[in-house]
Amino acid sequence: MTDTSPLSTRQRRLIGIFCVILFLLAGGYLLTRNPGSESMPMRSAWNQPVPVYAVPAEKGSLDVQIQSIGTVTPLNNVVIRSRVDGELLRVLFTEGAEVEQGSLLAEIDPAPYRARLAQAEGQLQQNQAQLANAQADLELYEGLYEQDSIARQQLTSQRALVEELRGTLKANRAQVEDARLQLSWTRIEAPISGRLGLRRVDPGNLISSGDSEGLVSITQMRPIAVEFTVPEPDVPALRRAVTGEGELPVQALDRNEQHVLASGRLQTLDNQIDLATGTLRAKAVFDNEDDALFPNQFVNVRLRLHTLASVITIPSDAVQFGSRGTYVYVVDAAESKAYARTVSLGASADGRVAVTEGLDAGELVVLEGLDRLRDGREVVISERGSD
Average pLDDT of the chain is 89
pLDDT of residue 159: 93
Dihedral of alpha carbons 294, 299, 303, 308, sign: negative
Please state whether 262 falls in left (phi above 0), alpha (psi between -120 and 50) or beta: beta
**pLDDT greater than 80 at residue 208:** yes
3-state helix, strand, coil in the chain (%, to 5): 30, 35, 30
DSSP 8-state assignment for residue 232: G
pLDDT band at 40 (very low <50, low <70, confident <90, very high): very low
pLDDT of residue 296: 96
pLDDT of residue 178: 97
**pLDDT greater than 90 at residue 8:** no
pLDDT of residue 245: 79
How far is 326 from 210, CA to CA, in rounded Å? 64
pLDDT of residue 273: 96
